[in-house]
Amino acid sequence: MSLIKKRRWFQTFSFLAINAYIPSWFKGEIYQGSIKGTCVPVLNCYSCPSALGACPMGAIQNFFATSRFNISIAQYQFGLYVIGFLGAVGSLVGRMPCGWLCPFGFLQELMHKIKTKKFRIPKFLTYMKYVVLAAFVILLPLLIMDEYGFGQTWFCKWICPAGTLEAGLSLAAISPDIRGQLGFLFSWKVWILVLFFVWMIVSKRPFCRTTCPLGAVFALFNKVSLFQIATYEDKCTLCNKCWEDCPVDIKVYEGANSPECVRCLKCIDSCKFGAVDYEFIKKKQPKPSLQQN
């Protein structure tokens, strides 16, 4: 089986495995079992009715949103579990969960298969996810408090289209009480989701590349993780087949372990000359020639 087919099976199984509690859909409620506080290594909304685990970005926002209040009452909780979890995953495989496990990343790839004119995402937009991480996940929840001393989960509340799809629309569909409370914020989030749906069709993985704060965290580890993409100059013909097939528009021979790489390994299947492979210990590779055919 090719790596591409294996990845499709992993993506499908991951979606089903982390959203496996089906009874919640019939009860009109969110699963609240004993494992719900355990983080999953992908963006998967805590409030999805059948979600078995917690989204790490939601957990980090909640930590910053409550940290000042907790300190004021001498409860020093620093969210080390979530930070350690993300650090461990990133140190091992970098952004591989984005390419192999993330349900919203899987959805973007499926949407992009719709036949229409395609557009490349300008490189400068790929830096916006770091701004989103710093502003909406860390600074705003930490600095802006309500009258009770609590912050908000700004990214979840105002931006996250994955949360809108998995939780907002789902809960509105199964719970009449929630439908009766919908207002401006729900409409805002739906329009953001629609915007990304359109963008998914015409560009490759736009949310992952421009907005996802979890992708921004894992991207910091790509160049230092144990898992690495290796390229071999003596076999590379600069045919650009890897660039053509890459879901995040990377020329692998120029930046095999770019922060943008989601470690999907599609480039390995795409290269018919054996110029791309993976390894678990980074080796020094000769710098390839950048001359084009």
pLDDT in tens, 16-45: 999 999 999 998 889 999 999 899 999 999
Strand 228-231 and strand 276-279: the pairing is antiparallel
Instruction: Give φ, ψ of 265 to 5 degrees.
Output: 70, 15
Q: Which residues contact 30 (CB under 8 A, 6 or more apart)?
A: 24, 46, 47, 48, 49, 51, 171
**Rounded distance, CA 214 to CA 57, Å?**
6
Confidence at 178, pLDDT banded by 50, 70, 90: confident
Contact 168, 187 (CB under 8 A): no
The tens digit of pLDDT for each residue in 184-214 reads 999 999 999 999 999 999 999 999 999 999 9
**Rounded distance, CA 164 to CA 210, Å?**
18
Q: Which one, of 41, 43, 47, lies nearest residue 84 by Cα?
A: 41
Q: Is the pLDDT of residue 293 over 90?
A: no
Q: Which amino acid is at 289?
A: S
Pick the CATH number of 225-284+289-293 from 3.30.70.20, 3.30.70.330, 3.40.50.300, 3.40.50.800: 3.30.70.20
Between 13 and 77, the higher pLDDT residue: 13
Mean pLDDT, rounded, of the chain: 91
Q: What local confidence, expressed as pLDDT, does residue 75 receive?
A: 62
What's the chain's length in residues?
293
**Rounded distance, CA 41 to CA 21, Å?**
18
**Rounded distance, CA 82 to CA 62, Å?**
11
What are 231's two structure tokens?
Answer: 């390229």
Confidence at 165, pLDDT banded by 50, 70, 90: very high
Q: Domain extents for the chain?
A: 3-219, 225-284+289-293
DSSP 117: -
Confidence at 290, pLDDT banded by 50, 70, 90: very low
Q: Is the pLDDT of residue 1 over 80?
A: no
**Rounded distance, CA 197 to CA 36, Å?**
28
Q: What local confidence, expressed as pLDDT, does residue 4 receive?
A: 86
Q: Which one, of 55, 133, 42, lies nearest residue 96 by Cα?
A: 42
